[in-house]
Structures are given as C-alpha cells and as structure tokens.
Structure 1
Amino acid sequence: MSFKKLIQPLKDSLKNKGFNEPIGVQKLILSKIKGGANLFCIAPKDSGKTTSIVLSVIQKLKGKAFEDAPRVLIFVKDKQAALDLELEFNAFLRGTDLRIYTAYDQKNIDQQRDDIYDGVDVVIATPKRLNRIFYLNGINLNKLQMCIVEDADFLFRNNNFAEVTRTPESIGRCQYLVFAEHFDKRFERWQDSFMFNSEVVTYQKD
C-alpha cells in the first residue's frame, strides 16, 4: 500500500518527516492490515514494525475520536515501552483528535480507571495492569476493533502469555496483530483459538 491511500493528516506527517514511500516490512503488511487480516508480523528490530502499528491504527480510526470506549488495545512489555509507543503516536497525531492513553503498573489504578472511563480511543497497556483494570470494571472492551501486541517476544516471561490470552475471551470480533522478532510455537495456540485464518508474514533485511 502506498502512502497515497492514507488519510490526509498521516500523509502530511509523513511528508514533514521526509518519508515518501513505505519502508522495510511496511511494504508487506500495511495493505493486509488495512484489509482487516489477522497477522503475525515477524521482522527484525528497526525494520518499521512500530511505525506500521501507528500508521495502521490512525488509519483504521480515520484520525477521529469517537464516543468513550477504546477501539484499539495495544499490549507492551513495560512502562518504558508504553511511553515510547505513546511518543511514536504523538509524532503522527497532528490534524487528528485521537486520544491515546497508557496504563502500566507504576500508575495509580483508580486514576487510570477514571481516565479511561472519561473516554479514550487507543489504550497502550501492560498485560497485568490491563487485566486488573478490566476486572475492576474499569474498561469497556466491547467496542474494540484492533488488538495488537508490540514486540511480542516479552510474552514468554512473567506469565504475560496467559495474561494476554485472557483478553480475547472478553471481547467479540476483532482484528489481531502480533509483532515479534521470532515466531514462537506457542503462538499456534492463538491460531487455533481466536486468530483464525491468520497469516504469518516474515521479513528479513537485505
């Protein structure tokens, strides 16, 4: 997919940053994501995975805030990863009114619950904190359109895989995207449960 098919605010941001066409893994996956496919994107570091997430999410939501319940949930490994991804989003939000929110363990959970209740479009969260907020009835997942895992290699530490696996049990139809440097055989459980007909896209740098 060329950048010409993106919404105008994204095209403006990309032009200002000097990007004229997709790079690396973006050439393989942007059109597939736009088409609604469930994907495992396997690619090395610095190949364009994170920017692919940001562009795809903003494009999917058409750059516009809507109601109160989040429409995109992104799992990350820790506080720093959440803050880094939020910064990446902020670099592309000009001309949109999307509300990005981070939820991680070091933040007051009651404050997080209240903030999310007030209305957000994208929640970037660590698995354990997201599940705690959910079980406190602090987040409505019924409107989710996309559920994403960034740098999914972290899932196989500290019970994170089980924490993330719980989430699809609580939501309806949704697009699932998993970004990682390696495909772990444990992902096959997701292919058999909620990531039906998913495609594994592998990219290697030249």
Structure 2
Amino acid sequence: MNAKPPAPGRSDAGGHHPARQDDTPVSSAPATGLPPVASFDALGLPAELVARMTALGVTEPFPIQAATLPNALAGHDVLGRARTGSGKTLAFGLALLARTAGLRAEAKRPLALVLVPTRELAQQVGDALEPYARTLNVRLATVVGGLSINRQQAALRAGVEVLIATPGRLTDLVSRRDCFLNQVRITVLDEADQMCDLGFLPQVSDLMAQVRADGQRLLFSATLDRNVDQLVKDHLHDPVLASVDRVAGSVATMEHHVLNIHGADKYATATEIAARDGRVLMFLDTKAGVDQFTRHLRASGLRASGLHSGKSQPQRTHTLAQFKNGEINVLVATNVAARGIHIEALDLVVNVDPPADAKDYLHRGGRTARAGEAGKVVTLVTPDQRRDVNRLMSEAGIRPTVTQVRSGEATLSAITGAKRPPTGPKQATGNAPFRGMGTRPGRPAKESRKTADARKAAEARAAARVRKGR
C-alpha cells in the first residue's frame, strides 16, 4: 500500500467508524457516520459552482453525493458504491473540480486524473463536468482510443488540469512522453470493476504507480467485488466507504420481467417490442447479431441503429446522439452500451439475448430507471435458457415477474407496449429473417445433409441447362 500522510483536516477522531455498511468484500473500509445533506449549499462547495448548479437545476444531492462529497472535499480517500444512474459522476467530479480550482497545470502534466473503462463513459463524464469546469476556469481534456491522438497530444501540450482517460490510450501517451503523471494529486477510478473485468488491471496499476504517492484516490463503481480488492489494498489509504445501495439492482422504480417464449418466436417477439411507441434499448450477444437484427428492423420500417465495438468512435458517438435526440427509436447493442451511457427518460431495456452473468444484467438494466425515473427491464428466455436465467436472477438479487408470451398477444403489448411493425420489404414472422443462423444471431447453423444434397442437385440441373443451351 502506498504510504500517504493524512489529508488536511483529517484526524483519528474524524467521525469514522469501523463498522461496515454492507457485505462488500473490500478490506479495511471504514464507513462514514455523516448525517444526510439536504442541499449542496451545506457542503462547502465554491459559491460560483453552487450558483451554476442551481442555474442548471441541480439543487438537491443524490444519496451517493451526500454520502461522499464532504469526505472527498476534505481530501480523504473514498470508496463509493451506488447503482448506475445514481449520480456518481458529480459525486467525484464536484470534489475534484473544487479542489483543483485556482491551480494551473504545466504542459503535459495534469493535476487530476479520471480513469474510466470505455470511450462512451469518458465522453459522458466529460460532458457532465464541462459546464462546472468552465465556471471554475478548470481545463478539461478527454483522451480515448478511436479518436485522433494528434489532437489529444496538442491538448496535453497546451496544459490541462483534469484529464479523463481510458487506460489504453493514456498508456500510449505516457509511453510517447506526451503525458507525465507525477503531478497528479487527485485520481478517480470510475467503474473500476469493469476495468478489471476487461483486463485493464495491469495498466491501471502501472498508471497508479506513476501518480503522486501522497495524492487523493476516489474509487466509484456500481459494484465493488473482489476484482477490485487489489486496487484498494495497493492504492487507497484508509478509505471512507459509502454504499448507498445494498443490492445494485434493487431500485424501487424499476420493474423486472422474464418473458418465456418459444425459440422459433424469439425475433418476431423482439421485433414487435422494437415497434413500440417510445425508445427502447435492446441487447444482443454478438456484433454480427446486432448488425443482422438492425438490418431486419430497418427493413421492417423501424428507425433503428446498432452499437458495438466494431464500429468507429465517430460512428458510435453519432449513433448515441441520434438515440438521445429521438432520430432513432431503437438502439441495438452489445454490452458496450451496458455502462457509461445515460439516456434521459429511457423506460425500457430488453435483453433479446440474456446476459452472461448477474453483473452484466445489473449494468444493462441500469440504463433505465435512472435518477429516480421509472423503467422496465425485460429478458426474453427460451426453454433451454431458463435454468441459467433463474440462477442469474438469484445472484443479482432480483425476483422478476415471469410470464409466458407469444408474439401478437395482448399480454406482450401490456408489458412492453409491443405492436405490429410497419409493413416493410422483408416483413416476416417467427425467425424468418434469421433462418440459416444458430440460436443466436451471428452464429451460423450447420447445413443438414438433406439440404446440402438438394442444393447440389439443383446446381447440377442448372449447369446441365446451361450446357444444353450452348
């Protein structure tokens, strides 16, 4: 563990109690005993920052903000857990900006660092903090893969106080000597568990070893499990634990539905849900499946677009902007959209393919019912998937409403708002657009011997007719 002197104003009698707030398996994390805060005015934020927040309609702190901001502003290390959409970005961002205001960074040497796992999350954090940074005259820059590294190098040379980065691109910039981390005094790890899950732990550990040993560390995530235990042990000093949701998926305004369907009816059911009035985010397992289903929805007369890691960053940014502003109603995505995407008033998430584990389920579902809004998470389940989905729900702490449905039924419409799609050139029922594919889009099925023999015979007859006509 990095040795670090106490932050200013910290003492052994600072009101921190050794009792744990939940069963999160993180070592030596004291809980905070601070009373709830009713307004941002009571937190000691700069007056101009509070005025800007008020002008933007941000007046009452969410629980995770009230629980963590006093300690973060005082310079303590913080370990924050809260469900997605609960305000974690401002929980660390306001403290980071307030503590950086008035300081000026040298070229290539940022003073604060926010590490995130995905490009989408980096963009979201930057967008959320930008108006407040501008108010405090704090310079922000975002460095991620998939965008011009030359522009990112130029921004660093000009000097930035706060750098928002993905581990891979920041590692590249450090290796090129375009960025030095020895002046970083505040480091934020956002969605640290996903960074570990994606294999970024070695890069994150290496980057953390380069920041100031006496700096402040803030680690926030919707889940804090043993994957991040090593990061906590190695890089956080006596962190204050704030866990405002015992179970990440237990949101009072969120409904969970399991729709048991026949395998042959899966994509007709999904298509009717996509045709509902209002927006819907639909998850599939594979990039090929996303592309295939998106083409089918468009051919059915629906405004749909796909999002996955195979698309360029400008394409992904454009697609998200279209979904947010209503140009498209249906966003079909892989797990790349399960974190770091905030869509206002998104009331339905559909798992066309069930997720692999409970964590993925919680993060997919976390795209709806954000910031107190209502929302539904619907999972389509074929008979062979029921056992795995039952186990997944149990691990996630979810007790869903289970319903047997078929496409075209009133029950499906009542739950999801499903309706018949507009007539399209390739309109079909059942799995017709996906014939010749496996149980999941993008997974080809092996051609049967009977089908192969028939195909070869037809090819031979066609060749014979060509020869005869010569």
Q: Secondary structure of 2:229's match? A: helix
Structure 1 position 147, deviation (Å): 0.7
**Residue number in structure 2 paired with 1:149:** 189
| Alignment of 1:109 onto 2:146 | no
1:163 positional shift: 1.2
Distance 1:83 1:188 in 2: 27
Q: Quick one: which amino acid aligns to residue 66 of structure 1?
A: R
Contact 1:42 1:179 in 2 (8 A): yes
Q: Which amino acid aligns with 2:84?
A: K
Q: How does 1:155-174 map to 2 (within 5 A)?
A: 155-172=195-212, 173-174=214-215
Q: Which moved more, 1:128-137 or 1:165-174?
A: 165-174
SS at match of 1:170: coil
Q: CA deviation at 1:91?
A: 2.9
Cα distance in 2 for partners of 1:77, 1:57 equals: 19
Q: Choose from 27, 47, 51 the match for 2:66.
A: 27
1:27 offset after TM fit, Å?
1.1
Identity, in percent, stands at 21
Relative to the length of structure 2, the TM-score reads 0.41
Q: CA deviation at 1:82?
A: 1.4
Match of residue 95, structure 2, among 45, 50, 56: 56
Going from structure 1 to structure 2, the CA distance change for 1:102 and 1:32 (only over 3 Å counts) comes to same
| CA distances 1:38-71 after superposition (whole Å, capped 9, x unpaired) | 1210111121111212211111112x35032211
Deviations 1:132-161 (A, max 9, x none): 111111112121111111222321233212
Q: Which whole-Å CA distance do the structure 1 matches of 2:135 and 2:75 have between them?
A: 24
> What per-residue deviation string (whole Å, max 9, x for no partner) do you get for residues 104-124 of structure 1?
111232432232022001111
State the alpha-carbon separation in 2 of the partners of residues 194 and 79 from structure 1.
24
Tell me whether 24-33 or 48-57 shows the greater mean CA deviation: 48-57
Instruction: Give the corresponding residue for 1:127.
Output: 167
Aligned mates of 2:231, 2:134 — CA distance in 1: 35
The structure whose RCO (Cα within 8 Å, separation 6+) is larger is: 1
Q: Which residue of 2 aligns with 1:67?
A: 105
Mean alpha-carbon deviation: is it higher for 108-117 or for 138-147?
Answer: 108-117
Give how far 1:190 is off. 2.3
Q: 1:3 aligned to 2:43?
A: no
Q: Does structure 1 residue 84 correspond to structure 2 residue 124? A: yes
Given that residues 189 and 218 in structure 2 are in contact (C-alpha distance below 8 angstroms), is that contact kept between their aligned partners in structure 1?
Answer: yes
Shift of 1:16: 0.9
TM-score by length of 1: 0.90
Partner of 1:136: 176
- Deviates further, 137-146 or 121-130: 137-146
The answer to whether the 8 A contact 2:119-2:144 is kept is yes
- In structure 1, stretches of 5+ residues that fail to align are none
CA RMSD of aligned residues (A): 1.9
Q: Which amino acid aligns with 2:215?
A: C
State which drifts further: 83-92 or 121-130. Answer: 83-92
| 1:194 is the counterpart of 2:235 | yes
- Find 1:18's aligned residue among 25, 42, 57: 57
Gaps of 5+ in 2: 1-36, 246-250, 253-470
* Contact 2:119–2:145 (Cα < 8 Å) also in 1: yes
SS at match of 2:226: coil
For residue 84 of structure 2, the aligned residue among 25, 41, 45 is: 45
How far off its partner does 1:92 sit?
2.0
Matched positions, count = 205
Bigger Cα Rg = 2
Q: CA deviation at 1:20?
A: 3.0
Contact 2:117 2:194 in 1 (8 A): yes
Query: Do the aligned partners of residues 11 and 203 (structure 1) sit closer, same or farther apart at CA in structure 2, a change above 3 Å counting?
Result: same
Letter in 1 for 2:54: K
Relative to structure 1, is the Cα distance of residues 93 and 112 closer, same or farther in structure 2, using a 3 angstrom cutoff? Answer: closer
Distance 1:193 1:151 in 2: 17
Look up the SS of the partner of 1:147 in the other structure.
strand
Q: Distance in 1 between matches of 2:87 and 2:151?
A: 33
